C-alpha cells in the first residue's frame, strides 16, 4: 500500500499525525508522509486515517 497527502487540501488539523505518527508527521504548513510505502502493520491505521481525514486529503493506493 502507498499513501500520499494532497497538500492543497490538508488543513493541518493534526488528526492523522496523532493517529499514526509512524507514518504521518506535521511539516511546516501541512501534514507529510514519512513512509510512502506503508509498512504492513500500519495499513489498517492508515486506511482509518484516510477515512477520518475531514477534507479527504489522504490518498491510498
Ligand atoms: S487528517 Fe487530513 S487535514 Fe488533518 S492533518 Fe491529516 S491530511 Fe491534513
Domain extent, residue 54, equals: 3-60
Question: What confidence score (pLDDT) does residue 18 get?
Answer: 98
Place of cell 486506511: 47
Question: Per residue in 44-57, pLDDT tens?
Answer: 999 999 999 999 99
Angle at 8 between CA 7 and CA 14, to 5 degrees: 50
User: What spacing in Å lies between the alpha carbon of 16 and ligand 1's midpoint?
Assistant: 6
Instruction: Say how many domains are in the chain.
Output: 1
User: What spacing in Å lies between the alpha carbon of 53 and ligand 1's midpoint?
Assistant: 5
Going by CA atoms, what residue is nearest to atom 3 of ligand 1? Answer: 10
Q: How confident is the model at residue 61 (pLDDT cuts 50, 70, 90)?
A: very high
Torsion, CA 28, CA 36, CA 49, CA 24, rounded to 10: -30
CATH code at position 47: 3.30.70.20
Q: Is 42 exposed, middle or buried (0-12, 13-18, 19+ CB in 10 A)?
A: middle
Q: What number is the average pLDDT over the span 25-43? A: 98
Q: Which three cell numbers stand for residue 54?
A: 475531514
Contacts of 41 (CB under 8 A, 6+ apart): none
- Ligand 1 contact via 14 beta carbon (within 6 Å): yes
User: What spacing in Å lies between the alpha carbon of 30 and ligand 1's midpoint?
Assistant: 8
Amino acid at each position: 500500500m502507498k499513501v500520499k497527502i494532497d497538500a492543497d487540501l490538508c488543513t493541518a488539523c493534526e488528526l492523522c499525525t496523532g493517529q499514526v505518527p509512524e507514518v504521518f508527521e506535521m511539516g511546516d504548513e501541512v501534514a507529510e508522509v514519512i513512509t510512502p510505502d506503508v509498512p504492513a502493520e500500519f495499513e489498517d491505521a492508515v486506511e482509518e486515517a484516510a477515512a477520518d481525514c475531514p477534507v479527504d486529503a489522504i490518498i491510498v493506493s
